[in-house]
Each structure stands twice: as C-alpha cells, then as structure tokens.
Structure 1
Amino acid sequence: MPMHPAAPSDLHGLVEAFAQTAQAVVDLGRSCSEEDFARETECPGWTIKDQISHVAGVEAWLEGHRDPKVDVPPYEHVRNELGQKVESAVEVRRGRSGHDVLSELEHVLPQRLATLRSPGLTDSSIIPGPFGPERAATVALMRAFDVWAHEQDIRTALKRPGNLDSPAAAVFVNAALIQLPKLVARRAGLEPGSTVILDVTGPVVARAGVRVDTGDDGRPHGHAMFTGEHVDETVPHLEGPTVSISMSTDAFTRRAAGRRAVADTAYTVVGDEAMARRVLEALVVTH
C-alpha cells in the first residue's frame, strides 16, 4: 500500500515541504499573545516561545548568523552535548518577548528559502547542515522533519490541530518508518522470527512490515518486508510471533517524536499485546 500522500524526495519538493511547515510556525506565532507564548508544550522544558526560538536559531545559524555565547544552566531536559548545543539558541533568546523572536524568524525565513531555492542548487550540492556540510536534499529533509515536529508541538499546546496531511507530515512519517527495522530488532529486542506490521491510518496513510532474523554477527536484524510499494521477497519467513499495530498519524508521530508516553498514546493491537508494547516503547526517532 503506497503512502498517501507520498513523501517528497527531490530537493524542490523537500524545500517546499520545509517552507510550508515553517510558514505554519510563523502563522501560529502571529496568532499568539505573550501568555500563549509562555504555554508549556509536549517537548520537555520548552514553551511555545522556546519552540519558535529553536526554529529561528537553527535557520539563522544555517544562514551564517552567529548567536553570542551563553552558558546553558543544568536543565533536567538537557541530557547531552547535542542537547546543550540545541538549548543554547533557546537560552540566548529567553530574555526576549515572543513577538520579538517571531520577528526574527519572519526575517530569516525568506533568506533561508532564497538560499534553498537558489538557481543551480541540486539535490547533491553540498551546503551547511545542522550537523555539518551535507547534501542539499538531506538538509531540506532534516529541516522539514524537525520544523514539522515543532509545529505540532505548538499546535498541540494551542489546541489547534492541523497540517497532519501536509508534505512535511509525510516526510516525518516516512523517515520514522525507515528506522522501524532497527528499532524493532535492536531497541525493542524482539526475538528472531518475530513479525511486526505497523499501520498509520491517516491523514497520512502508510504501512510497514518488519521481520526479525539473526544476522551473520549473531545479533537480531530487522528487515523491511514492505513499505509503500516495495516488497522484499528475500526476507526469510520464519515461524514466530506476529503483531499488528494501528495508530493515527497524530499518535504515531507524537510517539515517534518522543512527545507522548505509550500510556498516553492511542493505538489498537491484533496479536501479542506485550510485544506491541515493546515496539511502541522503542518507537522514538527524535526528541
């Protein structure tokens, strides 16, 4: 069953997916009062203003603007060096109003889009990325993925659902499903012979199947049996437990973003409930 709507994979489609979700963040911010900017979100430790600070900070950095150095306090939600780096862009903007930070994003976004839409820029052009120089298509994919997750953080805090069928939503779903074999075999620790079918029921509709077997290294390996239109006929059909999990796009992406505990996630199961729980506990691809 092909994903619908399909996730863009070329530079143009990925840039437009990023542009749409980034503009949605701007539009949501324009509707906020300072009290709204102070609302807590499902992203641990961050308010709505912090979400916008993060997006503005990353896009400004990618355009060559550098924030002043700032010490990041030992916040509970900052757990590693990468977390500290991400938090610094938020921390340096904490003394500013929400509307001021939003104005920064409104100023930098056209610069970013002009860069990403530059004539002559191709999928394989090397440009600055969040983690270093990278292919332009990969940078656009990472930014669409990240910004859409934060857009959903803001929407949830404001109780204004939307954009669950957008190109960036499809980018997020597809990127999360690509990681499913590794998550099932390694993090969930399912035994060889296990099969997991995961249905995303919409608005983005997708289906993925994973079979676990033992690799040459003696460790469990997950193989994608199918995703979208692809079916891998070489995956061995070993006997073992099978579980089918169904979730909405919202439930799947909020869990995959690490925003909601399994206990707070709506899903249905056919098969082994305990096995499904292990898969869902492992189903986090970003924080």
Structure 2
Amino acid sequence: MQTHPQPPVELPELVDAFAATGQSILDLGLTCHPEDFDKPTALPGWTVKDVFAHVAGTEHLMNGGQDREVEVLDYEWIRNDAGRFMERAVEVRRGRSGGEIVNEWRDLLPKRIASYRDPTLNPETVIQGPFGPMELTAMLHLRLIDLWCHEQDLRDALHSMGNLDSAGAAAFTSDVLAAFPARAARRADLEVGSVVIIECTGPVMARQGIRIVEGSDGRPYAESLFSGTAHVDKVDDETGEIIPLPLGKITTIRLSTESLTRRGAGRISTADLRYSVEGDEAAAARVLDVLTITP
C-alpha cells in the first residue's frame, strides 16, 4: 500500500498530529454560534455539542479525571457496553452549554499535549486508556484517528469541511486501506481470482489492491498486490521480485479522501457515497459496504 503523505508513525509525529487535530477541533468550537451546538451530526443521537462533550470527556478521563456518576438511559443508539461507557461523558455534560464544553477542551488540550511530550516516556511506555492499558504509540494512534474522525463529524455538521490533507487524514486513510483486504475476502462475497483495487484520489493519495485466492482450508483470502504500478502484480516477500499474477475480474474503485474516510468511519452509506467504478459495480458496492472500521 502506498500513501501520500505518509501517516505518522514515530512518537513525535503522532504527538504533533494529535496536537494539530486537537487545535482544529478547538478552532471549530470557538467559531460556533450558540445555535450551532444543537445541530445534528452523522452520529446517531449526538449533536455538535455532544461530539465536543465526547472529545473533552474522553481526554478528561485520559488525564486522570473522573466524572460524577450519572444514569445513562437506554438510548436507541447505544448498542453495547462500550457505547454505554462512552455515553457517560456526554450525559454528564448535557446540562452544560456548548461554550462551556469548548472551554473545557481549551483548558484540557495543552495538558494532554504536555503529557504525551513528557521526556520520560518512550514509544513502548504502557499507559492507561479508556478501555485498558496500551503502549503509548498505539494509544496515540487510536486517539489521533478518533479525534480526526470527530473533527470531520463536526465539520460535516457545521458545513466547514477541511483538514483532509493532514496527518490525521493520512492515518485514518491508511487504517481503512489496511483493513480492506481481510474484510473484502471474508465479507464481500468475491469470486476467487477477482482483483479489486481502491484508489484514493486526494488530498491524501493512496492505492491498495488485492486478489482473492483460495486457501488450503478452502476459505477465501486476499493477496495484497504491488500498488506502485498500474499492473496487477505482487511482490515476493523474500526477493522483492515483482511477480505477474493471472488476471481474474478486475474492479477499480476511485474515490476522494473525504468519501473514503466517511465510508470507513461508517458515517455515510454506500448508496449515498460518491465514487466511480471500472469493472464490476456490484462487487465494488459489496466491498464498500464492508469497509467501515469504526465500532
């Protein structure tokens, strides 16, 4: 898989990307009018204010804070225990104004950035996250893509799209395409020999291709294709040699960074998505249907 710009991987890059995304969210909040906080988002049941509450509440917890106990009602959009847990921070803040929650985020953001830049930490340092302990770089990656997805939720609701060429955008795009092979092989009902290529046309530019093969257990698997050329090839892991593959049905899906990441976040259905297809349109739709990586 090729991605340009490259997603952040090293600890300093991840911290910088987290800081930039957090600041973008704050900037959006500071420009909101009171009525903006009541606008619905693509997240079922959540308004703009609720998304800010989720962002602030999660990082408040990461910062060692504790919210008061509150009863979370059986909202129809809560599907599991993790969703109920995430709803607590939103429920606690429902009686506060949007401006108050944005101010909470404004005060909290520099503390979170400073904690991640603590010189005593290293990439393997284990820290406590919302759902348990994780190594710092893995945790920061998850926090980055969560923040960036919610930034896009806010931008969508406020009709202020942007930041699609950022490190956060590159990280989420890379995650969606990394998940694409296994999801397509097991869930998209593709014929053995089928070749499917996804091209993200920008601002983040990326390309990932797969060929469906039958494993020794009789189940379908996806072989990643060499995506540095327009040819349907793969690379030998040991020699680096480019190996031409026999062709099955070739389907190419092209879509923008915005479309790919909104579908990957599960915020828009395939039926409502803007994309183009060369090849089997039905297969392309099935692949896009299984591309969501968020809970």
Q: TM-score by structure 2 length?
A: 0.92
Q: Deviation of residue 231 (structure 1)?
A: 5.2
Which residue of 1 is the match for residue 251 of structure 2?
243
Q: CA deviation at 1:215?
A: 2.4
User: Deviation of residue 238 (structure 1)?
Assistant: 5.0
Q: How does 1:47-86 map to 2 (within 5 A)?
A: 47-86=47-86
- Residue 234 of structure 2 contacts residue 244 of structure 2 at CA under 8 Å; is this kept in 1? no
Root mean square deviation, CA, Å? 1.9
**Could you say which structure has the larger radius of gyration?**
2
Shift in Å, 1:273:
0.6
Q: % of aligned pairs identical? A: 47
Moved more, 187-196 or 177-186: 187-196
Deviation at 1:132, TM superposition (A): 1.1
Q: Separation in 2 of the partners of 1:191 and 1:240?
A: 9
C-alpha distance in structure 2 between counterparts of 1:236 and 1:244, whole Å: 18
Match of 1:27 in 2: 27
Name which of structure 1's ranges 257-266 and 185-194 shifts more when overlaid on structure 2.
Answer: 185-194
Are residue 140 (structure 1) and residue 140 (structure 2) matched?
A: yes
SS in 2 for 1:192: coil
CA distance in 1, matches of 2:55, 2:227: 31
SS in structure 2 of the partner of residue 161 of structure 1: coil
Does 52-61 or 104-113 show the bigger shift?
104-113
Label 1:243 to 1:63 Cα distance change in 2 as closer, same or farther (>3 A): same
- State the Cα deviation string for residues 98-150 of structure 1 (Å, max 9, x = none): 01111111111111111100003111111112321111111111011010000
Alignment of 1:20-169 (within 5 A): 20-169=20-169
Q: Amino acid of the residue matched to residue 257 of structure 1? A: A
Instruction: Give 5+ residue unaligned stretches, structure 1.
Output: none
SS at match of 1:128: strand
Q: Is the 8 A contact 1:165 1:203 kept in 2?
A: yes
- When structure 1 is superposed on structure 2, of 121-130 and 23-32 the one drifting more is 121-130
Residue 6 of structure 1 corresponds to which residue in structure 2?
6
Bigger mean CA deviation after superposition, 156-165 or 70-79: 70-79
Give how far 1:71 is off.
Answer: 1.8
1:179 is paired with a residue whose SS is: helix
**Post-superposition offset of 1:213:** 1.5
Does 2:182 align with 1:174?
A: no
2:235 aligned to which of 232, 235, 246: 232
Q: Offset of 1:66 from its aligned partner? A: 1.2
Q: Using the TM superposition, give the Cα deviation of residue 239 of structure 1 relative to its aligned residue in structure 2, in angstroms.
A: 4.5
Q: What number of residue pairs does the alignment pair up?
A: 287
Counterpart CA distance in 1 for 2:10 and 2:22 is: 18
Is the contact between residue 206 and residue 228 of structure 1 (CA under 8 Å) also seen in structure 2?
no
CA distance in 2, matches of 1:231, 1:146: 32
Which of residues 253, 269, 274 is equivalent to 1:266?
274
User: What is the TM-score normalised by the length of structure 1?
Assistant: 0.95
215-224 or 169-178, larger mean C-alpha shift: 215-224
User: Could you say which residue in structure 2 is the equivalent of 1:205?
Assistant: 205
Deviation at 1:240, TM superposition (A): 2.6
Alpha carbons 2:179, 2:291 under 8 Å: kept: no
Ranges in structure 2 where 5+ consecutive residues have no aligned partner = 238-242
Cα distance in 1 for residues equivalent to 2:86 and 2:175: 21
Distance in 2, matches of 1:23 and 1:8, equals 17
Counterpart of 1:186 in structure 2 is: 186
1:152-205 CA distance string (max 9 Å, x none): 010111111110000111011011111111111112132322211000000000
Q: Report the secondary structure of 1:68's partner residue.
A: coil
What secondary structure is seen at the aligned counterpart in 2 of 1:78? Answer: coil
Q: CA offset at residue 259 of structure 1?
A: 0.3
Amino acid aligned to 1:156: D
* 2:240 paired residue number: none
Partner of 1:285: 293
Pairwise CA distance, 1:236: 8.8
